[in-house]
Chain A
Amino acid sequence: QQPVQSPQAVILREGEDAVINCSSSKALYSVHWYRQKHGEAPVFLMILLKGGEQKGHDKISASFNEKKQQSSLYLTASQLSYSGTYFCGTESYYGNNRLAFGKGNQVVVIP
């Protein structure tokens, strides 16, 4: 039930864009995105509900394709503060209320 995140790691320069993906084999009710900086706790970024919605957090936006059971996180004009590990958490219709997290996408933004 653990979602699959790709790519495992991304290195980009300040100002560049990147896309990271999260996919599940289960029918999803919602997708959460969290960011964890080194040595800190994961922090909630946004939640996407069924219906193919998109959301944004600063210049970080995300989409949720319910039919494909996929979500993508878009890092636009990346800043140094975007560095960290991004986790998607998925809630499936038969997941018994649990939020299953993927292994994370490590993002490193360099000057």
Chain B
Amino acid sequence: DSGVTQTPKHLITATGQRVTLRCSPRSGDLSVYWYQQSLDQGLQFLIQYYNGEERAKGNILERFSAQQFPDLHSELNLSSLELGDSALYFCASSPRLAGGSGANVLTFGAGSRLTVL
């Protein structure tokens, strides 16, 4: 157990639907990251939050949104789902922002596997 909790582990839904993925960071970590992993694309950075604020955005579609709540857990909302959104979605957390001192070493959760039919 890495200390980062993601729910649900598996999710099967239909095109056009909306889902919410949840992440609780490791105790003491203030920064949360979301990554999408497809078969041939590696780990694609979606978005990062630090202590409730959005700090960096990657290749996140407009149909996707996320937020980090006061208790530091985060949710990734995926709407108008398409077949191509099927992927493994990882949440990761780190103690602080990047700084080169090791403060941004990521601890990954087990992932949420989304299948869109």
Q: Which residues of A contact B (CB under 8 A)?
A: 2, 29-30, 32, 34, 40-44, 47, 49-50, 87, 89, 91, 95-104
Contacts and interface: CB of A to CB of B under 8 A. Distances in A.
A41 to B, nearest CB: 4
Nearest to B46: A98
Contact of B104 (A34, A97, A100, A103): A97
Given A29-B100, A44-B105, A96 B41 contact: no
30 contacts: A2-B42, A30-B98, A34-B108, A40-B110, A41-B111, A42-B43, A42-B90, A44-B105, A44-B106, A44-B107, A47-B102, A89-B43, A95-B56, A96-B55, A96-B56, A97-B48, A97-B55, A97-B98, A98-B33, A98-B56, A99-B45, A99-B106, A100-B58, A101-B42, A101-B43, A101-B44, A102-B42, A103-B40, A103-B41, A104-B43
Interface in B2-38: 2, 33, 35
Contacts of B108: 34, 41-43
B95 interface: no
The size bracket of the interface on B is 20 to 34
Contacts of A2: 42
